[in-house]
């Protein structure tokens, strides 16, 4: 499910879906706007494997668990890497 398997195409694996969601989040968006951009982006890039909305939400869950996206005032906001983890210097 997270990674491609015999039954899950590489463009449909949750890590790939999460990466595609992050690419669509170039600015804060509502979940509906992010879903629309995600579908447009997949069509433009020629990813034809079906990704239902539930799968998209699982991709968002993965991103949230990894600390790469937050929900602020009903908007999905990608976190910057320096916000996610402090660096040791």
Per-domain residue ranges of the chain? 13-78
Distance CA 35, CA 39 (A): 6
Distance CA 82, CA 30 (A): 23
CATH of domain 13-78: 1.10.10
According to DSSP, the residues that pair with 71 across neighbouring strands are 76
Count other C-beta atoms under 10 Å from residue 81's C-beta: 10
Query: For residues 63 and 18, is the Cβ–Cβ distance under 8 A?
Result: yes
What's the pLDDT tens digit per position in 20-74? 999 999 899 999 999 999 999 999 988 888 889 999 999 999 999 999 999 999 9
Count other C-beta atoms under 10 Å from residue 59's C-beta: 25
Single out the residue of 64, 3, 4 nearest to residue 31, CA to CA: 64
The residue ranking higher by pLDDT, 43 or 86, is 43
Q: Is the pLDDT of residue 87 over 60?
A: no
Specify the pLDDT at position 48. Answer: 83
């Amino acid at each position: 499910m997270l990674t491609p398997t015999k039954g899950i195409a590489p463009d449909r694996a949750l890590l790939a879906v999460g990466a595609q969601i992050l690419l669509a989040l170039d600015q804060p968006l509502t979940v509906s706007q992010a879903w629309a951009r995600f579908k447009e982006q997949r069509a433009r890039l020629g990813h034809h494997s079906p990704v239902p909305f539930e799968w998209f939400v699982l991709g968002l869950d993965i991103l949230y668990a990894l600390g790469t996206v937050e929900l602020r005032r009903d908007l999905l906001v990608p976190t910057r890497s320096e916000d996610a983890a402090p660096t040791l210097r």
